[in-house]
């Protein structure tokens, strides 16, 4: 038990900490009686967690496989006609049609579509922030900052 004083001089608060409780025979007896039951519970809980984890992993795999199958289906327009590639004249899959739309959107200036395309092909983009006061810096200082940033990116 600890006595803690408050800002008011006439008040004091008595608090107990878990570390203030000492081990005694009563605690030891209670621990021995429940020792094996808690171990069995731990095994049961661990098994249940493993079963749930396996079920979730199988569900994710099934979802991924289903999505890949659906993306491989031929794409059709509003009239039910197959969407054809403007380059090859062959019908496009849904996946190819989505990529084509992302490319067209990126060409129109959609930066999120561009970022998605660059991420998909493995290009790395960097966001660089610098605290620079252009009014007080010389051209040589700015060139040095740009050189340092460029060397870190490569």
Rounded mean pLDDT for each run of 10 residues along the chain, 154 residues in total: 48 49 61 60 86 94 96 93 89 92 90 86 67 77 77 60
Length of the chain: 154
pLDDT at 24: 65
- Give the H/E segment covering residue 148: helix 139-153
pTM comes to 0.47
C-alpha pair distances (Å), 28 with each of 24, 34, 42, 64: 6, 10, 20, 52
């Amino acid at each position: 038990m600890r006595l803690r004083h408050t800002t008011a001089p006439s008040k004091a608060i008595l608090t107990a900490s878990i570390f203030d409780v000492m081990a005694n025979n009563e605690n030891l007896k209670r621990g021995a009686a429940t020792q094996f039951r808690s171990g069995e519970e731990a095994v049961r809980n661990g098994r249940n967690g493993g079963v749930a984890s396996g079920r979730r992993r199988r569900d994710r795999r099934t979802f991924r496989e289903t999505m890949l199958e659906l993306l491989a289906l031929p794409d059709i327009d509003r009239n039910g006609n197959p969407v054809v590639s403007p380059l090859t004249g062959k019908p496009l899959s849904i996946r190819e049609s989505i990529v084509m739309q992302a490319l067209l959107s990126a060409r129109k200036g959609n930066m999120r579509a561009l970022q998605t395309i660059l991420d998909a092909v493995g290009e790395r983009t960097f966001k660089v922030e610098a605290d620079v006061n252009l009014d007080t810096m010389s051209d040589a200082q700015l060139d040095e900052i740009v050189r340092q940033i460029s060397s870190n990116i490569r």
